[in-house]
Every structure is written in C-alpha cells, then in structure tokens.
Amino acid sequence: MSDDLVAFYEAGYTQHDAQRGELLGRWRALGAASKAGHVLELCHRADLQPASVVEIGCGDGALLAALSDARLAGTYDGFELSGPAAAIARDRRIAGVRRVEAYDGAHVPAGDGAYDLAILSHVLEHVPDPAALLAEAARVGRRVLVEVPLEDNRSGRRPAKQAESRAIGHIQCFSRDAVGRLAAGAGMRPLADLSDPLPRRHHAFFAASPRARATATAKWLLRSALWRAGPRRAERLFTVHYAVLLAPR
C-alpha cells in the first residue's frame, strides 16, 4: 500500500468535527447492518457455521460488531490499514473479538487456513491489487466472502459518478463477471451469491431536506422495481451491492 492510501484512510477515521464524526459513525453502522445481513444469508444458504472469522479491512469494527451481535461465530479477528480505525474498533470491546490490529494492507499476520471464514466487505474496490489481496484472504480463510459495489454500468460511467467514487477511495470498478474472474484467479469457486439495490434508508440517509428525501425515495422506488424485474439487467444500468461466498476449487 502506498503512503498516500494509508494517509487517505487514516484521515477518514480522524474527524475533528464531532457532529460530522457522529454522522459518519451512524452511516457506517447502517452499512454494517446490510453487510451483516448479506454475510448471514450467504452462510445460511451454504450451510456454513464458522467458528472463527477474520475481517480484512475491518474499518472501525462496525461489521464485526454486527456479526458478533448476530452470533455468527465464536471468535473474530480484524485487520485494518488505518491505525485510527483499528483503535476505534478495539475500543468497542466487541464480544468474541481477540485481535484488532493495523496491518500493511497486503500480508495478513495469520497462518494458512487460520480461519473458517475470511471477509472482504467493500475492500477490493479500494486496493491497487485486488487479486493479490483476495489470494491472501484465500490463504488464511477456508472460505472467503467478498462484497463489492458493481459500478461497471451505465450510471457508474457518468463523470459525476466516477468523481464521487474516487472521492470515497474507489480505485477499482467491478462487474459481476470481473469478480468471478478474480475468484477463479485465486483458485476459488462460488458457493452462493446475492445482489442488493439497498433499502430506502440508505438512499435517503444524507438527504437533508424534504425535496432531497423525496428525490431519494423516487430513486429507490425506480431502482428496486427495475432490480425485481431483472437483477442482471439492473446491474448494467446502475450500481447494486454484490456479495459472494467462495470456496477452494
């Protein structure tokens, strides 16, 4: 990882504006609830009951906390590029968490097959070499769960949308097929997958006025209807979140 990337994510978790920091904390908790739902659903579909879980790129620990509350596993570890984020996650005192540490963004400090499940949730779009990081997750986890936004679509190619993605640190742009190629390159096959256009509360979270909330609601209604009518076609039009549970081939 470059020093620029480390600085970017450390700044993201170091808020001098308390009100802004509280807002972003609620936003991350909202996202973690959806992500945890995806993890639980895919584990259920694959009849996977992990005893140990590692989250690579765990941020402030919001997803670890949600999974712990849901009692997915008995023990959890988390590794994060941002030192300030790892400190926030440790301070949560999440039940079942053994280690939360900053790491170099490339090499997870754990042995081969150390975990039943390794999670990369909204991480691969942020890293310069997603194939290498996925291979590292496959090294330490007997199963790997990946979630990314599918931004390789008509809406995602708009200049304004591309600028928005760059502003939040997205340096990769994925389609479902691209994720499949990454998995195959890491020697893995899908066990179960899902896509999600996200509920209204996500689309309206930052809407500060009645007009903005109405616009967000209309956007959610349209996207949800298109997704229900044809999920694969919807992915080519606008961004949805895609999660896949992987196993060695």
> Percent of the chain beyond pLDDT 90?
86
Confidence band for 15, pLDDT divided at 50, 70 and 90: low
Q: Which of 247, 248, 142 is nearest to 192 (CA)?
A: 247
CB 6 within 8 A of CB 82: yes
Structural domain range at position 21: 3-195+241-248
Quickly tell me which residue has 């616009």 as its tokens.
Answer: 215
DSSP state of 125: G
Average pLDDT, the chain: 93
Asked if the structure places residue 224 within a domain, the reply is: no
Asked if the structure places residue 188 within a domain, the reply is: yes
Tens digits of per-residue pLDDT, 165-184? 999 899 999 999 999 999 99
Q: What is the pLDDT of residue 86?
A: 94
Asked if the structure places residue 79 within a domain, the reply is: yes
CB 242 within 8 A of CB 153: no
Count of domains observed in the chain: 1
Phi and psi dihedrals of 157, rounded to 5? -85, -5
Confidence band for 20, pLDDT divided at 50, 70 and 90: confident
Q: Is the pLDDT of residue 27 over 80?
A: yes
Phi and psi dihedrals of 142, rounded to 5? -75, -25
Asked if the structure places residue 145 within a domain, the reply is: yes
Tens digits of per-residue pLDDT, 88-127? 999 999 999 999 999 999 999 999 999 999 999 999 999 9
Tens digits of per-residue pLDDT, 233-244? 999 999 999 999
* Across 43-55, average pLDDT: 98
* Across 214-228, average pLDDT: 96
The two structure tokens encoding residue 220:
């959610």
CATH number at residue 151: 3.40.50.150
Asked if the structure places residue 116 within a domain, the reply is: yes
Asked if the structure places residue 122 within a domain, the reply is: yes
Asked if the structure places residue 114 within a domain, the reply is: yes
Asked if the structure places residue 212 within a domain, the reply is: no
